[in-house]
Chains A and B, each alone.
Chain A
Amino acid sequence: MKSRIGVYICECGSNISDYVDVEKVKAAVEQEEGVVLAKITMFACADSTQQEIVQDIQEEKLDGMVVASCSPKLHLGTFRSVAERAGLNRYNYVQSNIREQASWAHSDKPAEATEKAIRNVKAAIARTRLSVAMTPSMIPSENTALVVGAGIAGMRVAIDLADTGSKVYLVEKDHFVGGRTAQWGELFPTGQTGTEVIEDLYREVGKRENINLYTGCEVVSKSGSMGNFEVQLRIDPRGIGSGDSTAVPADFEKRLTHAIDACPVVVADSFDFGLTERKALYLNPGGLPGLPAIDRAACTRCGECVKICPEIDLDQKEELLDIKAGSVIIASGFDPYEPKEGEFGYRQIDNVITMQQFRRLIEICGERLTFGGKEIKSIAWIFCVGSRQTGALEGDNKYCARYCCTSAIHSAVVAKKRFGDIQNYHFTRGVRTYGKYETIYEESSSLGDIYLQSFEDDPPVISSENGTTTVKINDILTEEKELEVEPDLVVLVTGMVPRAGSTIGSIMKAPAGLDGFFNEVHPKLKPVETVIDGIFLAGTSQGPKNITETAMSAHSSAIKTHTLISKGEIELEPTMAIVDRTICEWCGKCSEACPFDAIDEVKEDTKSVAVVNEAACKGCGMCLPVCPVNAVQLKGFMDSEIEAMIDAMSE
């Protein structure tokens, strides 16, 4: 029984103390049996506090420790390490979650949240009193990673992991790699095009034999857990060869081009955001692998393409592939925000397009920038469309999409330099070209771009009459003077939203936040980990990022994945079944219940008893409730500990 327990109650800045009266919690628990020290900390996880706890453990000779703070998902490891640094066994530490499960869950009822926090901390103390020192167990892990999405983030993660020696399955739902970046032309600040960046990464992926790239491939199901995920993939047929564009006959490319020309099916080209059309047999501009694919939803199977190019196989079947992976990295990317009909004139006024459409427009125009047959000489840029939706702006997207100020201003500068005499008018809500990207704002200003600004409760108004489009603003930079512009083109600076129709989150059970993007455990301390062990995030699946930030998050995910799977084994909790041989009378029920064949019958002097194979036991506890004489217990979850917690909570 532990009798020198230290209790630390964290304010978490004000995340906890805003709703939970931490002084009251301290007063309620400091006289509990075995507690010799109780302290309130502003941030229990801060280095200085960790050092203070180490000092307390050593000076006060603590034999048990409780930290009442955030979810154990975030800091269990942190405080276990603190305990170990002070010479205390990590399993004599218990974390009480009074943030997610008290402060935040009951922020509407602070007094009740405080009472709940007191019950939780008392239960943690009760458990600590009965805790015993233990040693972790290990399980084998596949040194293989599944990377979902082959855009910038996915390919970057795959390359990094492959270089550490891991096997990588890189799967892309589309028939071409590159994600959104493949659609962009010149990028800021390097001047490279999106296509060039993707070509570089694709080339590097191809050099690595331990990367298996599958395009037209989706994750169908997942079972298992960290270290040993079993995943089923579905590969949609490309309809032509195997995707290897290097081993083809000399005239193949020419015949394919003719086959595309012969295809009678025409659909809107999503690569150009509907500005152009393509065939059912198609190859994206600069698309990689450089082999066309068949859009099966659009294809009528008329066979015109096969007549010209017999290598096309309209009867190719989809394939299912079962793989094993130690971890999964979600790099599924983003969608551009699609404005609602009528939002700033979108789909109601002919010359209103989105920024992403504009990015494609400047790539498909020749020497003159035209739209709808008219040459563009002036452009009105409406910022924050679909982002920062507060005030008069309806919508659920409260966040700033970050990259769009820089991207819009850069696009305006590119258009001006490429097509000459263009006047840009920027209708902003404050320009956020943060960090090094401020230089593009300076360049734009020096080139004569005009900046106007409004608040969220008084956004610019776009109207059209007799073929003339007008943008009006009460410009706060000129004392709310009403100004109006008659531009040739209006570009809505649309931000990022989560991928529509993506099933990867529900398959991986990765939680998303209120904004719909996948949630990390902690934005600073565990920025690429999810609460599901072994599942990591990379790139814009997690939230708006520019390409630099996407690459950085991909590097980070690769490192975290490598740390987890590269050793070939993963540390597991030492929770393990133990049998009280004095009361066990072998009946076999525990053995039947065990999914891991970890319990055997062993003959002793006068009877047979159940014995747990420690190497095979995974600590699930399925053997516990089936024992008719309650002879089986689980280390760390003994009857005495559970019942002591219940007693403490019910006081």
Chain B
Amino acid sequence: MTEEKGKKKISILVFSTEKISDPAIDLAGLLKQHYPPEVDNISVPCSSGIKPVWIMHAFERGFDGVFIAADGTDCPFGETCSEKTAEIVSRTHELMKEKGIDPAKLRMAAICSVCSQAFVKLVKDLADYLDETS
């Protein structure tokens, strides 16, 4: 992510999960695997419980991008988590289009409890994309 003088810094809201992706994000910190500090985090029990209205609220409040650090196949609540989280993203993409927001600003990926490197790479990728398109 570039930080040109005077240019607004890219902000990203991450929805993570208490049991699965939070440990990975903590691990990234523990291992000093740096990622953009403008990445904020709200932790929820399960990624398939994230409401599209929350995501839309984040965009309305000025977040440039949203990343869902999903449970994936490790979800403690059931095997359908990935499919349901993907459905949430798909429906939110439609809402974003209606509001004229680029759907690529919302991304999701399964982040297992040890996937700190994957998390760092994916939020950096999103930050780079947002920076290029801002």
Contact = CB atoms under 8 A, between A and B. Distances in A.
B46 A120 contact: no
B112 to A, nearest CB: 5
Contacts of B46: 620-622
Contact of B40 (A99, A103, A107, A649): A649
B13 A649 contact: yes
Interface in B74-97: 74, 76-78, 80-81, 84, 88, 91
B29 A630 contact: no
B49 A101 contact: no
B77 A622 contact: yes
Contacts of B84: 593, 622, 625
B44 A637 contact: yes
Given A101-B41, A650-B63, A625 B57 contact: no
Interface stretch (B19-27, B101-109, B125-133): B19-27
Contact of A643 (B19, B41, B57, B116): B57
Given A108-B32, A620-B48, A620-B49, 17 more contacts: A73-B26, A99-B29, A101-B26, A105-B28, A105-B29, A107-B34, A119-B40, A225-B19, A509-B20, A510-B113, A621-B44, A621-B48, A625-B48, A630-B51, A642-B42, A650-B58, A650-B62
B54 A643 contact: yes
Contacts of B27: 100, 511, 519, 531
Contacts of B45: 573, 575, 619-621, 634, 637
Given A73-B22, A511-B27, A650-B61, A505 B114 contact: yes
B131 to A, nearest CB: 15
Q: Size range of the interface on B?
A: 35 or more
A486 interface: no
Contact of B13 (A105, A531, A646): A646
Contact of B30 (A100, A533, A619): A100
Contacts of B50: 621, 624-625
Interface in A79-102: 97, 99-102
A104 interface: yes
Nearest to B16: A101
B34 to A, nearest CB: 5
Interface in A332-353: none
A525 B52 CA distance: 39
Contact of A637 (B49, B52, B112): B49
Q: Size range of the interface on A?
A: 35 or more
Contact of B114 (A510, A573, A639, A649): A510
A625 B52 contact: yes
Interface of B: 11, 13, 19-20, 22-35, 37-38, 40-42, 44-46, 48-54, 57-58, 61-63, 74, 76-78, 80-81, 84, 88, 91, 112-114, 116
A247 interface: no
Contacts of A224: 76
Contacts of A623: 49
Contacts of B62: 650
A639 B11 CA distance: 21
A531 B40 contact: no
In order of increasing CB-CB distance, the 9 nearest A-B pairs are: A621-B49, A100-B29, A225-B76, A112-B37, A595-B78, A620-B77, A105-B29, A650-B61, A104-B29
A528 interface: no
A180 interface: no
Given A97-B26, A637-B49, A650-B11, A622 B61 contact: no
Nearest to A636: B45
Contacts of A624: 49-51
B80 to A, nearest CB: 7
Interface string A571-603: 001010000000000000000010100000000
B113 A116 contact: no
Contacts of B37: 102, 105-106, 109, 112-113, 115-116
A514 interface: yes
Interface-central residue, B29, B31, B32, B53, by most chain A CB under 10 Å: B29
A630 to B, nearest CB: 7
A532 B113 contact: yes
Interface string A102-135: 1111111100110110011001000000000000
A647 interface: yes
Given A100-B30, A620-B78, A643-B57, A105 B35 contact: yes
A225 B17 CA distance: 14
Nearest to A109: B37
A505 B113 CA distance: 11
